[in-house]
Amino acid sequence: MRMRFSDWEPIYLGILEDFGFDRSEDEMSVRILKMTTVNSDLIDDDEFGECFSKEVTVFGNAPCLESDLDSKGCGGTLIASGSSVGRLLARGIVPDIVVTDLDGDIGPQIDASSRGAVTAIHAHGDNGDLIRMHAASFRGRVVLTTQSVPENTVYDFGGFTDGDRAVCMAVHFGAEKVHLRGFDYDDPMPKDGTDPEIKRRKLSWARKIIDMVCTPGMSD
């Protein structure tokens, strides 16, 4: 199911209202992202779509990631949320795609880019400084994303957090089976400087979005 902005916008407006976010700040970060990646190896949505198979594994950064890998494995196109990349590389897993808002440990994400991963860099209202610091450092192929109105080289495939945005991308490009590894909506990985309650509220939205885009039996 390809995500149209007309389908996504009501959800986006609900998120803005819930958290008190300013849409104009999201759009300002998009402008920063476009300026800082002018010399990056940008690809369009057609080329990006060729990176996805009918089966995908999306990796979150919950504490259960390693135990999920041990018990369930992974297969198909490997899509990592940004913060999970270092943990995957430590297991010898190089993701095919990294979905990131540049929050968290950037070094492994840049490493994965240099090793062939496509990086989907996301702009939102409070990551403009991170975009300025890191977006131009990715040497592999790059896709630009927003949660507001898509424009030219900046796409909106739906999604709020890195993990559910990765699922939205996979479904948008035709995935029929989505394996979720390292997802726990109630027990997020602690992060310095982040309010755990805000994180849980974000993961509540992530759960809603994943349930919305995945048909019954599509994800495990």
Instruction: Tell me what pLDDT residue 1 has.
Output: 65
Contacts of 104 (CB under 8 A, 6+ apart): 61, 82, 83, 191
What was the pLDDT predicted at 187? 78
Give me the pLDDT at residue 161, please: 97
Q: Can you give the pTM of this predicted structure?
A: 0.96
> What pLDDT does residue 149 have?
96
Q: What is the DSSP string of 158-205?
A: --SSHHHHHHHHHHHTT-SEEEEES--SSSPPP-TT--HHHHHHHHHH
Over the stretch 23-51, which tens digit does the pLDDT of each residue have?
999 999 999 999 999 999 999 999 999 99
Domain ranges in the chain are 5-213
All residues at 6 or more sequence positions from 189 whose CB lies less than 8 Å from its CB, including other chains: 61, 62, 63, 83
Q: What is the pLDDT of residue 212?
A: 95
Residues of the chain with pLDDT under 70: 1, 192-193
